[in-house]
Structure 1
Amino acid sequence: MDGQAAATRYESLDAIRGVAVMGILAMNIVAFALPFQAYANPAAGGPPGSADVATWFFNFVLVDSKMRGLFSMLFGASTLLVIDSAASAGRSAAGAHYSRMVWLALFGLAHFYLIWFGDILFLYAICGLLLFLFRNLSVKALLLWSIPFFLIGIGLPASLWSMLSMAQAGTLPPEAATGMQEALAQMNADMGPSTPAYAKEMALYLGSYSSIVAHRTGEMGGDPIFFLSMFLWETIGLMLIGMALFKSRMLTGEWEAARYRKWALICFLIAAPPLAGLAVYQMRTGYDAVAIFGSTIALSIPFDTLMTVGWAALIMLLIQTRASAAVRARLAAAGRMAFTNYLVTSIVMTTIFYGYGLGLFGSVGRLPLYLFCFGMWAAMLLWSKPWLERYHYGPLEWLWRSLSRWRVQPMKKVAAAQ
Structure 2
Amino acid sequence: MSVRYKSIDSIRGFSLLGILLVNMPDFYSPHLYMSQEKPFSRDIASFSIDVLARASFYPLFAMLFGFGFMMMFENARKQGHSFSSMYRRRLVGLFLLGCIHAFLIWYGDILISYALCGAVLWFFKDASVKRLLTSGLVICLIPVFIVTSLLVVSGDTTEETGLYQHIIKESFETYASGTFGMIVHQRLQDWLYLNNIYSVPFLFVSIFPFFLFGAAAAKARVVQKVENYVLFLKGTLLLSACFFLLGKLLPYIVGENAVMRYVHDSIGGPAGSLFYGSFLLLILRKKVGQKLMSPFAAMGKLSLTNYLGQSVLSTLLFYSYGAGLYGKISTLEGIGITFFIFWVQMIVSNWWMKNHLFGPIEWLLRSFIRRQKQPWKRAEIEQN
RMSD: 3.1
Picking from 263, 279, 302, the partner of 2:236 is 263
Picking from 163, 176, 180, the partner of 1:209 is 180
Question: Could you tell me whether the CA contact under 8 Å between 1:158 and 1:299 is conserved in 2?
Answer: no
Which residue number corresponds to residue 62 of structure 2? 72
- Deviation readout 1:22-53 (Å, 9 max, x if unpaired): 22111111111111246636858xx97x6xx2
Which residue number corresponds to residue 333 of structure 1? 298
Map 1:395-406 onto structure 2 (within 5 A): 395-406=360-371
Q: Match for 2:68: what amino acid?
A: S
- Alpha-carbon shift at residue 58 of structure 1 (Å): 2.2
- CA 1:253–1:31: 2 relative to 1, 3 Å: farther
Map 1:262-281 onto structure 2 (within 5 A): 262-281=235-254
Picking from 27, 52, 66, the partner of 1:62 is 52
Question: Could you tell me whether the CA contact under 8 Å between 1:60 and 1:279 is conserved in 2?
Answer: no
| Consecutive unaligned residues in structure 1, runs of 5 or more | 1-5, 169-183, 286-290
2:332 paired with 1:370: no
2:310 paired with 1:320: no
**145-154 or 65-74, larger mean C-alpha shift:** 145-154
Q: Aligned partners of 1:219 and 1:368: how far apart in 2?
A: 24
- Alpha-carbon shift at residue 109 of structure 1 (Å): 1.4
Q: Match for 1:383: what amino acid?
A: V
Q: Aligned partners of 1:296 and 1:30: how far apart in 2?
A: 18
Question: What secondary structure sits across from 1:229 in the alignment?
Answer: helix
Aligned length: 380
Which residue number corresponds to residue 16 of structure 1? 11
- Deviation readout 1:140-159 (Å, 9 max, x if unpaired): 22111012311454267547
Which residue number corresponds to residue 77 of structure 2? 87
Question: Could you tell me whether the CA contact under 8 Å between 1:7 and 1:85 is conserved in 2?
Answer: no
Question: Could you tell me whether the CA contact under 8 Å between 1:18 and 1:338 is conserved in 2?
Answer: yes
- Deviation readout 1:293-337 (Å, 9 max, x if unpaired): 443445642332222111111122333337465544321111111
Which residue number corresponds to residue 356 of structure 1? 321
- CA 1:351–1:29: 2 relative to 1, 3 Å: same
- Alpha-carbon shift at residue 90 of structure 1 (Å): 3.1
Picking from 90, 93, 113, the partner of 2:103 is 113
| Consecutive unaligned residues in structure 2, runs of 5 or more | none
Picking from 213, 216, 230, the partner of 1:244 is 216
Q: Match for 1:123: what amino acid?
A: S
Q: Match for 2:174: what amino acid?
A: L
Map 1:192-231 onto structure 2 (within 5 A): 195-206=165-176, 207-217=178-188, 220=191, 223-226=194-197, 227-231=199-203
2:249 paired with 1:254: no
Q: Aligned partners of 1:339 and 1:73: how far apart in 2?
A: 15
Which residue number corresponds to residue 383 of structure 1? 348
- Alpha-carbon shift at residue 404 of structure 1 (Å): 1.9
2:163 paired with 1:189: yes
Q: Aligned partners of 2:290 and 2:150: how far apart in 1?
A: 49
Q: Match for 1:61: what amino acid?
A: V
What is the TM-score normalised by the length of structure 2? Answer: 0.87
Q: Aligned partners of 1:376 and 1:210: how far apart in 2?
A: 27
Which residue number corresponds to residue 138 of structure 2? 148
Q: Aligned partners of 1:399 and 1:156: how far apart in 2?
A: 42
- Deviation readout 1:217-276 (Å, 9 max, x if unpaired): 467557545453331122111111112223334345723796445532332134312320
